[in-house]
Structure 1
């Protein structure tokens, strides 16, 4: 559009320049023709015998064109307007090169003239020829040229707009396949490593890029599969000897050393169990079934109640009267809830209660009254194997990472904030789902020591 606007301005300017050039060219041709028509008569006088064309220009009634022929030192030899000829004495002197000038306020009507002065050799000797034409006489030519330029300018602008619209449409249409590839690439994650980019509809110049990107995805997928298989196999191989070791430690008589060994064995069992959960989440994306969140929360609380009683803590459950259906995989969601509850119980002081609240919008919040989580650590706690300073319990930094992975796989989120009065509150939000089943309504359930 900028180029079109510049072109329009240039066209209007050029139309004015063209009109001036045509006027000057016409004056020059008349001066040259007058030079050829000058002749000396047998009696020695100088005469200018106008051609039919020049006679119509200079001698017609109301003519606004005039000429003056002067001999060097002899005064005026011929003129088309004797009444105006003396007034031309003040005009610029003639040279061998044409000299153009604008004369304002000339004649009785005070018109503006475009004048040409030329010094040339003729049959009567050297002469100065002055040819002038009223600017008003060229009004029609200027008007025609300006109207033409104006009409062309609109056509140029409309053509530029049409070209711009077609260009934008063509570019957007041509980039649609690339945009689709970009969306597909952005959706690839750890759980969708089998997805590959399609080159359908792409320009041939981009096919090699798509092929190279797919090869990178192939290598990454093979690496992730090897890593997941190693983690799962290692965890499975460790479960049997750890189970045997735990059983043998349980048969030994109590002593401080045996108690320490039992704690170490419990810590290793927990780590192996979490590694298996990670491997299961990494290898198999959770299905998107409709599950009832109240029932899952109650099941997790019941399963952890004996463990919490042994640690002199309480677990309370609050839920709405109506079922809360969410979209997800029951085992994965239950694992996430168990990890959150275990984490809350671990960090809660003795004789305090961990509150599990099921919310109607498809969320579960777990609140404790422990030391809380510093603001700067609230994002890092969901990283694998990260444990903050002063971390308690036998964990390996995988529990909250599993919760975050479950939330991401289900299109949900997990957030942490401070509990009123001190402590931390974790909220697991999942996608709501419609379901035809119902579960018995439940209110508050509590497990005390």
Structure 2
């Protein structure tokens, strides 16, 4: 915008130079007309004449003069003129009035020049007269040239000045925005898992300090709300555990019947939901510690724990490992909990008499593949949201299992993704931070098969 303004300024400068030249020319013609009106008198024989001063003699009567004047009576008769041979040709020029009247006449005279004319009706010693003064525009060439040369020279100064201002402005703005960028980067780190971060007003303009203060106050209120929500979830889950445990124990002592079996299933689902709520509360309130764990051992332990249940569901679970230790950064309980949720989900959606394959990858990832109906493309962006269940969801789950997996992955700096299994089904891959040199035990705290 600054460069555009500079360019417009240059255009305006050239336009103003032309306007200035025209104004100077008109002012000069007006002064001459007024001076001529004062110099008119009569000779003893009654002839009207103009007693030109020495300066006007040089203007109107020198060889090659490009200026002329014509004095007329109110009736239009020529009383005096500096160029008798051209005076008759001025009859068609605009008539003079009490106000100066400017005009341009083209093709005037033997050389067909362009003239700038001024007509003025003024009082003189011999009475009211009409005076017309004219000047060939070629005579103003020098003035126009000087003005245009000045405008051309000043243009470079304007452009250089504009560029200097632009450079200084960009540098000043960028430097002034550095503290704002730092605050923005700090704000980008704030999330549900990290709510204790607050913005600093150091180095910011005073105008932005109220915004930072208001933002920090809003974060304080959000943090208090999240804490209350987490405490409510954890307390509610804890309060439900005891009556559910009592209910489950009492159902075990009842004689088997269809109704009792249904009640036992409902109780099992309620127990699982309570455990998941407690798990979510723990993940929300305390970030997992970053130990180094062996992924093969965690996957094997999860498969062994879920194999009897899967067989009871008429499904099988297979485990493939790369044949060497796979050390990753994470918390054993949290990572195994994520694996169990993925395996349970795969078993629940697999057809009977099929196998769920758990594959440990050397780069620090675990893939769980099933051969069920798969996950529709439109549902994949939302399957990791809490309490979200698609239309094709099976069983009586609450929609927390995959959300826990996603939260564990995020807390460990990893990721979880889903894709279609070749031949049909879904494959979930949990990726964690691999620890270098998987062949040997890392020097940090290690957890292998300590279950």
Common topology (TM > 0.5): yes
User: How many residues of Structure 1 are paired with residues of Structure 2 in the alignment?
Assistant: 439
**CA apart distance, 1:119:** 2.6
Q: Any conservation in 2 of the 1:290–1:434 contact (CA below 8 Å)?
A: no
Correspondence list, 1:50-129, <5 A: 50-72=52-74, 75-129=77-131
Select between 16-25 and 79-88 the one with higher mean Cα deviation: 79-88
TM-score (normalizing by structure 1): 0.86
C-alpha deviations, 1:122-164, integer Å up to 9, x for none? Answer: 2233333222211111001011112222333343333334334
The change in CA–CA distance for 1:368 and 1:49 in structure 2 (over 3 A counts) is same
**CA apart distance, 1:367:** 1.0
CA distance in 2 between partners of 1:204 and 1:310 (Å):
68
**CA apart distance, 1:183:** 3.0
> What SS does structure 2 have at the residue aligned with 1:281?
helix
1:352 equivalenced with 2:354 (yes/no): yes
The aligned counterpart of 2:195 is 193
The change in CA–CA distance for 1:322 and 1:67 in structure 2 (over 3 A counts) is farther
The aligned counterpart of 2:177 is 175
Correspondence list, 1:280-359, <5 A: 280-321=282-323, 323-359=325-361
> What SS does structure 2 have at the residue aligned with 1:273?
helix
Q: Any conservation in 2 of the 1:290–1:435 contact (CA below 8 Å)?
A: no
2:408 maps to which of 399, 406, 410: 406
C-alpha deviations, 1:191-248, integer Å up to 9, x for none? Answer: 1111112222233333223222222222222222233233334444554565566566
**CA apart distance, 1:175:** 3.1
Select between 214-223 and 159-168 the one with higher mean Cα deviation: 159-168
**CA apart distance, 1:308:** 2.7
Q: Any conservation in 2 of the 1:114–1:135 contact (CA below 8 Å)?
A: yes
Q: Any conservation in 2 of the 1:267–1:395 contact (CA below 8 Å)?
A: yes
The change in CA–CA distance for 1:60 and 1:295 in structure 2 (over 3 A counts) is farther
> What SS does structure 2 have at the residue aligned with 1:197?
coil
> What SS does structure 2 have at the residue aligned with 1:157?
helix
Q: Provide the aligned C-alpha RMSD in A.
A: 3.0
Gaps of at least 5 residues in structure 2 are 442-451
The change in CA–CA distance for 1:392 and 1:107 in structure 2 (over 3 A counts) is closer
Q: Any conservation in 1 of the 2:106–2:113 contact (CA below 8 Å)?
A: yes
1:148 maps to which of 147, 150, 156: 150
The aligned counterpart of 1:137 is 139
The change in CA–CA distance for 1:77 and 1:394 in structure 2 (over 3 A counts) is closer
C-alpha deviations, 1:315-366, integer Å up to 9, x for none? Answer: 1122334544444333222211111012212332332211012234433221
> What SS does structure 2 have at the residue aligned with 1:191?
coil
CA distance in 1 between partners of 2:276 and 2:375 (Å):
22
> What SS does structure 1 have at the residue aligned with 2:176?
helix
TM-score (normalizing by structure 2): 0.86
2:40 maps to which of 32, 38, 41: 38
Select between 135-144 and 277-286 the one with higher mean Cα deviation: 277-286
**CA apart distance, 1:311:** 3.5
CA distance in 2 between partners of 1:7 and 1:384 (Å):
61
The change in CA–CA distance for 1:378 and 1:71 in structure 2 (over 3 A counts) is closer
The change in CA–CA distance for 1:381 and 1:101 in structure 2 (over 3 A counts) is closer
**CA apart distance, 1:433:** 4.0
**CA apart distance, 1:281:** 0.8
**CA apart distance, 1:280:** 1.6
CA distance in 1 between partners of 2:297 and 2:172 (Å):
55
CA distance in 1 between partners of 2:257 and 2:319 (Å):
37
Gaps of at least 5 residues in structure 1 are 440-449
